[in-house]
Amino acid sequence: MLLAAGVAGLVVAMTMMIWRAIVGPSQYDRMLAANSFGTKIVLLIAVIGYLSGRPAFLDIAIVYALINFVTTIALMKFFRYRTLSRPLGTEAKDG
């Protein structure tokens, strides 16, 4: 029962993050909303795993936590350099 209340609170917080990602107003607000949404998804997966009696969901939560960070960094790199093919801090030497 308490875990179900925790799931409800997390889902409401994720709805707020989706609203911030929709209304913006800048792209950094949207990236922040995506990152925070991913963190809340990690917690939601863990709590749902215990709620349904399958704690093996924690493996998925670990993988999602790693993917979330890589996604945020890749998004910021893409929005700054408009490409993912060059390393950070280098200028374009050839076309």
Partner 1 sequence: MGDVLHVVGGGLVVAGALLTLLGGVGVLRFPDVYTRIHAASLTDTGGATLVLLGLALISGLTLETLKLGFVWAFVMLTTPAAANALANAAFSAGHTPRIGAFQIMKGVAASEARPDTQRRETSDDDESAAP
Q: Give the Cα separation of 49 and 52 in Å (integer).
A: 5
Does residue 87 have a cis peptide bond before it, meaning omega lies within 30 degrees of 0? no
CB of 23 to partner 1, least distance (A): 9
DSSP state letters, 10-28: HHHHHHHHHHHHHH-SSHH
Nearer to partner 1, 53 or 94 (CB): 53
Footprint of partner 1 on this chain (CB under 8 A)? 1-3, 5-10, 12-17, 19-20, 24-29, 31-33, 35-36, 39-40, 42-43, 46-47, 50, 55, 58-59, 61-62, 65-66, 68-69, 72-73, 76, 79-80
